[in-house]
Amino acid sequence: MLYFSPTGPIFVSPLVMFFIICAKYLFIVPILILGGYGLSRPRSEWKEMAFFAVPALILTYLLGKISGQFYFDPRPFVTDHFIPLIAHAADNGFPSDHTLLAAGLAAVGLYWNKRMGILLWVLAALIAVARVYVGVHHPIDVIGSAVIALIAVPGWHAFMSAAKPTPKKN
């Protein structure tokens, strides 16, 4: 297969092309799955899901950005002096934004549908592996992203559960 890399056209195996596509575009699929699931639910459930998911994902993103200020991990192609399979800026690799989004969506999805959540975690793992494979992240970047999502989303869930008003008993 012909692939147009950052340095020009090259021939790659179907497996390499699969990882390139996963690294660049697969993050869209979890968005569509969770969004489609939410929109297929009754309006009251959809609204409840949105009021949980949106702040949880914003919190995940903010924690990711804050953690990136405290931990700097140069990208593999910078430290090991090679050209990655996909073009990327030579900035901080921690955390992986693609994996952070996918893991955040997967963590949210588990609260609404266990099977969907597991599927989303499989996709998040595939995205993580692909980002490492194409040379734009170290394993710590993608593992850190999953850990951040696993802290932020359950943390938001606990906060929301504690903030719910309790019905008064007569």
Condensed to tens digits (0 to 9), the pLDDT of residues 130-162 reads 999 999 999 999 999 999 999 999 999 999 988
Q: How confident is the model at residue 49 (pLDDT cuts 50, 70, 90)?
A: very high
Q: Is the pLDDT confidence value at 79 over 60?
A: yes
Report yes or no: 103 and 124 within 8 Å, Cβ to Cβ.
Answer: yes
C-alpha 109/C-alpha 121 separation (Å) is 9
Query: Does 2 score more than 90 pLDDT?
Result: no
So what's the pLDDT on residue 170? 57
Say what the pLDDT of residue 81 is.
Answer: 87
Half-sphere exposure of 28 (CA within 13 A, CB side): 4
Give the helix/strand (H/E) hosting 112: helix 97-112
* Percent residues over pLDDT 90 in the chain: 77
**How far apart, in whole angstroms, are the C-alpha atoms of residue 142 and residue 45?**
31
The mean pLDDT value for 96-104 works out to: 97
Which pLDDT score is estimated for 101? 98
In this prediction, residues 13-39 reach a mean pLDDT of: 94
Please provide residue 22's backbone torsions phi and psi, each rounded to the nearest 5 degrees: -60, -40
8 — pLDDT class (breaks 50, 70, 90)? low
State residue 78's pLDDT score. Answer: 93
Calpha distance 20→30 (Å, rounded) = 17
Question: pLDDT higher for 85 or 24?
Answer: 24
Distance CA 120, CA 83 (A): 30
Phi and psi at 71, nearest 5°, equal -130, 120
Question: What residues pair up with 8 in beta bridges, in sequence order?
Answer: 5
What mean pLDDT value characterizes the chain?
92
